[in-house]
Amino acid sequence: MSELLSLRASYEEGTAGAWLEGADDVLAVFEFGRSPLDSTDPRHVPVALEQLGGPAMVEVWRCAGPIKTGSWDRLRFSQGEELTMGHIALDLRESSDMREASRLAYEILQTYLQQSPHQWPLKIWNYIPGINQGQGDEELYRQFCLGRADAVLIDPGDSPPLPAATAIGSRAEEPALQVYFLAAALPGLDVENPRQVSAWRYPRQYGPKSPLFSRGTILRLNGSQQFLISGTASIVGHQSHHENQVANQLSESLRNVHSLLEEGYRLTGDSHARLDAEGMLKVYIRDPSDLELIRRTLDAEAPAEIPRIYLKGDICRENLLTEIDGIVSLQRS
Ligand code: 3EB
């Protein structure tokens, strides 16, 4: 793996504990299938979503040190020379509702970032228990979007830099709403997908407040460039496609990823993103029995070199069965 990359993100075998003890350049260790409330160290981020298939992996982020750790209100952070990872887990049993919990999480996140040397979130991951529970505008995902919009001081009409994001559902029994992010001193380059309506412009039918995220951001630091890809589903324009057809949904999601990377090339003018060994993909799957079909489809349609894991998670629209996100590096051509 190139030493030049600002963020070295990889899937590794071994325990979270061993990775936290081992190296001094570890910014974060993500452990799957464990409640976010079980974090043992600011760099340790347990994620409730379970890994599907094997071998069992942890996700490790490394960057230039020294790495400083601490906490701010209910947020825990780990700060390298140029990048910060922060995470929040709010116990929903102590909160009146999802909108309020989401508003609180984003308020804490925003207040933390305002005093951090790394003020700009590049990507935010959101894991929401029981995301599809509730009817119509009461659906927990829509309530989550409302709370996020209540908190963030952003008017998308001003075209401010927006972070990339992923929003996925964990089991309804999971007690914690989890939000974690990667931030830097300068904003990323926002990339929208020409095949998709920008999320902040979704029509009213998808909820009272549109989600606030960009389809992807490019992190540019020290001559290296990395693409942080938002959760990408089988959505063309603003509509879900291939209802009940999980393989076709995955193929459509991959077409969206390729279209986004192509748009990144158009914007940078000279840099190609490649799905290669320096990157990583995460595939979220609603129904674990779809794993083999999804695995076969991805193996046929994406380069074998790019590391990938499969996580059990619900997609924020009930008619979607799978979603992909990832990190890929860009090379000058
Ligand atoms: C979509 O494209 C699928 O609310 O932060 C993807 C990425 C999705 C982020 C979010 C939602 C979010 O609309 C859902």
Q: What are 103-162's pLDDT values in tens digits?
A: 999 999 999 999 999 999 999 999 999 999 999 999 999 999 999 999 998 888 888 999
d(CA 205, CA 142): 11
Q: Is the CB of 207 under 6 A from ligand 1?
A: no
Average pLDDT, the chain: 96
Predicted pLDDT of residue 90: 98
State in Å: Cα 316 to ligand 1 middle. 7
State in Å: Cα 165 to ligand 1 middle. 7
Predicted pLDDT of residue 3: 52
Q: Is the CB of 235 under 6 A from ligand 1?
A: yes
What CATH number has the domain spanning 2-332?
3.30.1330.40
2 pLDDT higher than 70: no
pLDDT grade for 1, boundaries at 50, 70 and 90: very low
Nearest CA to ligand 1 atom 11: 167
Q: Is the CB of 165 under 6 A from ligand 1?
A: yes
pLDDT grade for 164, boundaries at 50, 70 and 90: very high
Predicted pLDDT of residue 270: 86
State in Å: Cα 141 to ligand 1 middle. 10
| Closest to 326 in 3D by CA, of 257, 272, 268 | 257
The percentage of residues in the chain with a pLDDT greater than 90, rounded to a whole number, is 92
| Cα angle for residues 202, 263, 315 (degrees, 5° grid) | 40
Q: What are 180-215's pLDDT values in tens digits?
A: 999 999 999 999 999 999 999 999 999 999 999 999
Predicted pLDDT of residue 97: 95
State in Å: Cα 125 to ligand 1 middle. 10
pLDDT grade for 263, boundaries at 50, 70 and 90: very high
Q: Is the CB of 124 under 6 A from ligand 1?
A: no
Q: What are 60's strand-pairing partners?
A: 10, 29
- The number of beta carbons lying within 10 Å of the beta carbon of residue 303 is 11
Q: Are 133 and 139 in contact (CB under 8 A)?
A: yes
Q: Is the CB of 231 under 6 A from ligand 1?
A: yes
d(CA 324, CA 280): 10
173 pLDDT higher than 60: yes
Q: Are 127 and 49 in contact (CB under 8 A)?
A: yes
Q: Is the CB of 199 under 6 A from ligand 1?
A: yes
Element (H, E) at 72: strand 68-72
Q: What is the mean pLDDT of residues 46-51?
A: 98
d(CA 194, CA 202): 14
| Test site for ligand 1: of 209, 213, 259, most ligand atoms within 8 A of the Cβ | 213
Rg (CA), the chain: 18
- Biggest alpha carbon–alpha carbon distance for the chain: 52
Annotated catalytic, 323?
yes
Q: Is the CB of 28 under 6 A from ligand 1?
A: no
* DSSP characters over 113-147: HHTSS--EEEEEEEEEETTT-SSGGGSHHHHHHHH
| Test site for ligand 1: of 316, 318, 322, 323, most ligand atoms within 8 A of the Cβ | 316
Q: What are 274-329's pLDDT values in tens digits?
A: 999 999 999 999 999 999 999 999 999 999 999 999 999 999 999 999 999 999 99
Q: Is the CB of 105 under 6 A from ligand 1?
A: no
Q: Is the CB of 166 under 6 A from ligand 1?
A: yes
- Which atom in ligand 1 lies closest to the alpha carbon of residue 206? 13
| Closest to 309 in 3D by CA, of 328, 324, 287 | 324
State in Å: Cα 117 to ligand 1 middle. 27
Predicted pLDDT of residue 204: 97
- Among 59, 174, 192, 323, the active-site one is 323
Nearest CA to ligand 1 atom 13: 199
Is the whole-model pTM more than 0.85? Answer: yes
